[in-house]
Structure 1
Amino acid sequence: MNAVTKTDLGEMTAAELSDLFATGEASPVEATRTALDRIERFNPSVNAFAYVVAEAALADAKASEERWRKGEPLSPIDGAPTTIKELTAVKGIPWRRGSILGGSEPSTREIEIVERLRAAGATILGTTTSPEFGWKGLTHGPATGKTLNPWHTGRASGGSSGGAAVAAALNMGVLHEGSDGAGSIRIPASFCGVFGIKPTFGWIPADAPSALFELAHRGPLTRTVEDAALFLNATTGWSPRALYGHCPSSVPDWRKVVREGTGAKGMKLAFSRTLGYARVDPQVAAGVERAVQRLADMGAIIEEVDPGFACPQETLLTLWYAAQAKAIAAFNPSDEQKAKMDPGLLKICAEGASYSALDYLAARQARADLTVHMELFFQRYDALVLPTMPLTAFEAGVDFPGGGEGRDWSDWSPFTYPFNLTGQPATTVPCGFDEDGLPIGLQFVGPSFHDATVLSLAAAYQAAHPEQVICEPREG
């Protein structure tokens, strides 16, 4: 058989590596060394990693190599180089959480999504960067510095799973865990030109206490839809430890869904340009419109229609700010610590602490009403297609495009957080570039627990219209 070179391995997907491990053409140790080499070469330009645990990763890869040699892999992702967002506790790695308040000693605990990835044999390379406690849709702050967009290192990566998106774009590992409370998987995936999915809340057990409750989804960021499906196969399913939400007893084979799904043909899709209230950059609008026409050419039945709800930003912010206030209050930071924290986070915590129980309950009711509204909307459509973001990546290190001001970072991400409020599945897949060479994202949203629909659509679109991937950071 032909040998696979180190450079070739660096561009492989998880699915491709799995096939090579099975035939013996490549080994998990070689794949892990290649991933670590890419981190060493690329990370200084983009700042995507909080911690890298090379020695532990190589030890895990060696064990995986032996399992493949015996023909006894734990799963198709046994040995796949994998990263975890630094908001997620991982044994043996300091739980930094993007903050001066985070841990500095190796964690002694981890949550079920990490346990399930380990049980599937994934090789954990380290943790990826997040803004402080994941409070905004960008990845920069006093404790972490700036995580930069690989397509243009003068631009933002997005957030809060910014490090994961950058690592996915540069293939510094092939599977990347992220979390999404208001768009934190889809925003950076769109900005960095990779695939991301926020699964229906419940598929992945929520066993970590969080005041965000059902807003806080976990899921993968990857170069391909198939790799995300492999991640979901390893992590979805019922757990007695799930604190919130529920999971159906029957869990699909997500990889089979992606490989054998019907795709776009015959799907009835609602196309919303603005949700009825958002402003969209003309280049993004043109890229999304071109993608929708492609879907029509692939056999989808497209109807241009808005879902018919008013902007739910204030509902989101009441729940979001209250949750952040509770999270930070638990640390009781000193004045000295506060001086080293993100001023924006402290500001929203102060506002969140001022809300009454009635304010909070009114927001919970509004969230429930929106959920029902969207479930009824999906009685008429298989999925909703719309932009992921109304703009492409703007300058790094600022909270608002152009260094301006606004109500909140959610001002410029109007298409993501509504579907955290509803808990429904939402994916983003690359659908082109603007004139500066920055990626544009196309979003599919479906009814609860119909993740197979949005995965099948995204996979079919990506297969028919694959976009360019980036091989090394582009300085800007």
Structure 2
Amino acid sequence: MAMTPKTDLGEMSAVELSALFAAGKASPVEATRAALDRIERFDPLVNAFAHVVPEAALAAARESEARWARGEPRGPLDGAPTTIKELTAVIGIPWRRGSNLTDTAPSTREILIVKRLRAAGAVILGTTTSPEFGWKGVTHGPAFGNTLNPWRTDRASGGSSGGAAVAAALNMGVLHEGSDGAGSIRIPGAWSGVFGIKPTFGWVPADAPTPLMELAHRGPLTRTVEDSALFLNAVTGPSPEALYGDCPAGVPDWTAAAKGEVRGLRIGYSRDFGYARVAPDVAAAVERAARRLAEMGAVVEEVDPGFASPLEALRVLWFAAESVTVDQFARTKADRARMDPGLVAIAEIGRRFTAQELLAAERVRSELKVTMARFHERHDVLLSPTMPITALPAGIDFPEGEGMTDWTDWSPFTYPFNMTGQPAVSVPCGFDAGGLPIGVQFVAARFHDDLVLRLAAAYQAAHPEAFPAAPVIA
């Protein structure tokens, strides 16, 4: 059955808007106003934005409109309504980082990923919410409150790029910058029902100092794989400003890389990595995704990826890094009282780790890299659930009475690939019995992001999932 053509600019993707701009059938100013209208209507119900800058956005849109009118656009992203995660500095917007201890004055600096988006003509609408300093996989905290799931507002959006994921689900803008230190793009992507990619570490140069160092990736959340590929075209590539990691000189055209057959791709399918407990509805949806890929011609084999849970090593690296952040901003007991108590608690643990324990954790990380490199000699892509459960109730860090001590207990599938630096994506693959989204994760070898993009784009084209027309109030 033929699909009804879209007529609402606020419902369109970056690819669709670009085609309309090129044909003179719509303008970046109209698209920006449509995105701002959706923010005005939807955001009070979900709290996805830390700051919205309509005047600056419309001024940038008018400049973009003039470039399109002259036949001189900067590329297909020129005029695309875009958001930036609040952990990322943006000139003219307070860089609060989800904290009450940071400067409330507008930032006078921004980092390379924002500069590259601006150079591509992206129109920045504002900044999206994060937990305090991005420390956990849900998005609630002292500065901006609770960001809610668009599919059920009594549920969590996921985090730490929760605002970005919710903005993507509701199309409050078409491109949404996020960051991922242990799953912070893929967790909210899965729980909010959108696509998210954590690219190979290095493709997006890390020019901002962070104690997480090579754990901390940046990438997009979007409704479509195509839009994320456009985003990556704008922001990837080497830079002398990179503080960590390396980037190959030859950068693919990600839009082209996202196209092609999946026939013959060797997929290793792991239900649980040998150590995770997965909810039945999630397991069934991911099993169906694996069957569908086999029907599309991929060679799907059930496998054990071959590593034990690296959670304790991750916690050493993560908690030690958070102790540095807390000590930087909270110099007194009164300061710490104004912070998220969960962040203060893990920082206290991290402060006690020894240099020997840190080195032991780095050894686990190094050995995991080797294990996965060997895995990818046999399999092009690893397939797993993105999350073992659907969205938690809003406002909690972890469920009570289930033996958990921290949010990392409920996200076993994401953080291993921050430790290895591999590309990993979450693609919507269904809903649970309560109507909450489920995501499937694809992981490829380092700098083989083309494989996860191609697989995700083909899967999404063959089996698209719905997006919410408006927040579902619960």
- Please classify the TM superposition score into its range, dividing by the shorter chain length: over 0.9
Distance 1:397 1:332, change over 3 A: closer
> 1:219 is paired with a residue of what secondary structure?
strand
Matching residue of 1:256: 256
Alpha-carbon offset, residue 327 of structure 1:
1.4
Alpha-carbon offset, residue 330 of structure 1:
1.5
> 1:372 is paired with a residue of what secondary structure?
helix
Alpha-carbon offset, residue 103 of structure 1:
1.9
Task: Decide whether the 8 Å contact of 1:101 with 1:333 is kept in 2.
Answer: no
RMSD of aligned C-alpha atoms? 1.3
Instruction: Give 5+ residue unaligned stretches, structure 1.
Output: none
**How do 1:150-299 and structure 2 match up within 5 A?**
150-259=150-259, 261-262=260-261, 264-299=262-297
- Higher deviation after alignment, 355-364 or 107-116: 355-364
Matching residue of 2:107: 107
2:167 partner letter? A
Matching residue of 1:357: 355
1:227 partner letter? D
Alpha-carbon offset, residue 404 of structure 1:
5.7
Alpha-carbon offset, residue 405 of structure 1:
5.8
> 1:368 is paired with a residue of what secondary structure?
helix
TM-score by length of structure 1 reads 0.97
Give CA-to-partner distance per residue, 1:181-208, whole Å, 9 cap, x none: 0000000000000000000000000000
Give CA-to-partner distance per residue, 1:397-416, whole Å, 9 cap, x none: 01113576623101100000
Task: Decide whether the 8 Å contact of 1:132 with 1:141 is kept in 2.
Answer: yes
Matching residue of 1:302: 300
Seq. identity, %: 68
> 2:292 is paired with a residue of what secondary structure?
helix
Task: Decide whether the 8 Å contact of 2:139 with 2:161 is kept in 1.
Answer: yes
Q: Give, in whole Å, the separation in 2 of the partners of 1:193 and 1:459.
A: 15
Q: Give, in whole Å, the separation in 2 of the partners of 1:167 and 1:339.
A: 30
Alpha-carbon offset, residue 335 of structure 1:
2.3
Residue 124 of structure 2 corresponds to residue 121 of structure 1: no
TM-score by length of structure 2 reads 0.98
Matching residue of 1:472: 470
> 1:221 is paired with a residue of what secondary structure?
strand
2:60 partner letter? D
Q: Give, in whole Å, the separation in 1 of the partners of 2:450 and 2:443.
A: 11
Task: Decide whether the 8 Å contact of 1:143 with 1:340 is kept in 2.
Answer: no
Alpha-carbon offset, residue 290 of structure 1:
0.5
> 1:239 is paired with a residue of what secondary structure?
coil
Matching residue of 1:372: 370
Q: Give, in whole Å, the separation in 2 of the partners of 1:207 and 1:372.
A: 26
Alpha-carbon offset, residue 336 of structure 1:
2.3
Matching residue of 1:383: 381
Alpha-carbon offset, residue 361 of structure 1:
1.0
> 2:58 is paired with a residue of what secondary structure?
helix
> 1:35 is paired with a residue of what secondary structure?
helix
> 1:440 is paired with a residue of what secondary structure?
strand
Matching residue of 1:455: 453
Q: Give, in whole Å, the separation in 1 of the partners of 2:155 and 2:363.
A: 38
Q: Give, in whole Å, the separation in 1 of the partners of 2:266 and 2:248.
A: 25
1:321 partner letter? F
Give CA-to-partner distance per residue, 1:193-249, whole Å, 9 cap, x none: 000000000000000001111100000000000000000000000000000000111
Task: Decide whether the 8 Å contact of 2:165 with 2:188 is kept in 1.
Answer: yes
> 1:152 is paired with a residue of what secondary structure?
coil
Q: Give, in whole Å, the separation in 2 of the partners of 1:267 and 1:94.
A: 45
User: How many residues of Structure 1 are paired with residues of Structure 2 in the alignment?
Assistant: 471
> 2:178 is paired with a residue of what secondary structure?
strand
Task: Decide whether the 8 Å contact of 1:190 with 1:441 is kept in 2.
Answer: yes
Task: Decide whether the 8 Å contact of 1:42 with 1:473 is kept in 2.
Answer: yes
Distance 1:185 1:319, change over 3 A: same
Matching residue of 2:15: 15
Matching residue of 2:35: 35
Distance 1:99 1:185, change over 3 A: same
Give CA-to-partner distance per residue, 1:306-347, whole Å, 9 cap, x none: 111000000100000011111121124332222221110000
- Higher deviation after alignment, 397-406 or 199-208: 397-406
> 1:329 is paired with a residue of what secondary structure?
helix
Matching residue of 1:49: 49
Give CA-to-partner distance per residue, 1:409-458, whole Å, 9 cap, x none: 01100000000000000001000001111100010000000000000000
> 1:319 is paired with a residue of what secondary structure?
helix
> 2:155 is paired with a residue of what secondary structure?
strand
Q: Give, in whole Å, the separation in 2 of the partners of 1:372 and 1:392.
A: 31
**How do 1:22-101 and structure 2 match up within 5 A?**
22-101=22-101
Q: Give, in whole Å, the separation in 2 of the partners of 1:239 and 1:90.
A: 19
Task: Decide whether the 8 Å contact of 2:101 with 2:330 is kept in 1.
Answer: no
Q: Give, in whole Å, the separation in 1 of the partners of 2:196 and 2:326.
A: 28
Q: Give, in whole Å, the separation in 2 of the partners of 1:306 and 1:31.
A: 46
Give CA-to-partner distance per residue, 1:232-282, whole Å, 9 cap, x none: 0000000000000001111000001113x22x2101100000000000000
